[in-house]
Structure 1
Amino acid sequence: MVQNKLLRMDNMGIVVESLDKTISFFEEIGLKLEGRAMVEGEWAGRITGLGDQSVEIAMLVTPDGHSRLELSQFIRPAVVSDHRTAEVNALGYLRAMFTVEDIDEMVIRLKEKHGAQLVGEVVQYQNFYRLCYLRAADGLLIGLAQQLIV
């Protein structure tokens, strides 16, 4: 019997408070909005286990076209918990990491235009990467990496 193989990771999903603000934040990093849609009804609830639901989603894609981020803003049912202020060692979803050309410029831009805050500081890992974690104004945690050796 031939074993079924994994083809790719399709996307990573994040539930957000404001779709418009979060789309703007990720567009600032360099992701492109592919589309936006309402997903409603009992059929969708059969996938999520939430029953009759209404959620607006947005799909963003990285510049290389290989990775996608699905943002979801739930209309119904209401959000049940908020993990945005969890420490970076909390179990579950932690953050998405994005590689950028100039980490210092990106940090300044995200702070000035979107109210992002550094969680710690920008650090260098050997001669390979400069890295940091940021919290967006709405608390969403992301990582930035700048590759030093290509």
Structure 2
Amino acid sequence: MTIRRMDHVGIVVEDLAAAVAFFLELGMEPEGEATVGGPWADDLLGLDGVRADIVVVRTPDGHTRVELSTFHSPVTTATAPNAPVNTPGVLRLTFVVDDVEDVLGRLRAHGAELVGTVARYEDIYRYCYLRGPDGILIGLVEELR
């Protein structure tokens, strides 16, 4: 099987605190938060100078997570659906797969285009973003552990 599970949905927002409050009020639970940036984030997103704050919330059963993020840099002025990955309102559906390169190759046959590069985050995972039909952003994660 190609897909093992859906990992998370990522949503870029302008007001991170307000978005977190909304999802917590909805009944989701906080899982963690971080500030990300650096070469691996630039490679993954196909952007330069990435600096973003991220908060992850999850459903009470722990099976579904939403990653809420706000970007401090680079600044975007584009709009969805074919906007850069850091545009407010752009959704990314992310799936854990057995082999990123294999899945990417098969999806390219259906018009998928790689956004940045296949980035490696330490010895934890390989990750890439691609655009599918109508500009939908799909994340593919290959766990290395």
Residue 65 in structure 1 maps to residue 62 in structure 2: yes
Task: Tell me what 2:31 maps to.
Answer: 34
| DSSP-derived class of the 1:11 partner | strand
Distance, in Å, in 2 between the alignment partners of 1:65 and 1:33 is 11
SS at match of 1:79: coil
Q: Percent identity?
A: 43
User: If the length of structure 1 is used for normalisation, what is the TM-score?
Assistant: 0.51
- Look up the equivalent residue of 2:65 and give its one-letter code: R
1:80 CA drift (Å): 2.9
Name the residue aligned to 1:118: none
5+ residue gaps, structure 1, are 84-91, 95-150
Q: Which structure 2 residues correspond to residues 52-131 of structure 1 after superposition, within 5 A? A: 52-82=49-79
- The CA RMSD over aligned residues, in Å, is 2.5
The corresponding residue for 2:136 is none
Q: Which has the higher strand share?
A: 2
Number of residue pairs the alignment of both structures matches: 85
Which runs of 5 or more residues in structure 2 are unaligned? 81-88, 92-145
Consecutive aligned runs of 4 or more in structure 1 exceeding 2 Å deviation: 79-83
- Work out which structure has the larger RCO, using CA pairs closer than 8 Å and 6 or more positions apart in sequence: 2
SS in 2 for 1:47: helix
Counterpart-to-counterpart distance in 2, 1:51 and 1:14: 19
Partner of 2:16: 19
1:16, 1:27 → 2: CA distance?
15
Mapped contact 2:12–2:90 kept (Cα < 8 A): no
The TM-score, its normalising length taken from structure 2, stands at 0.53
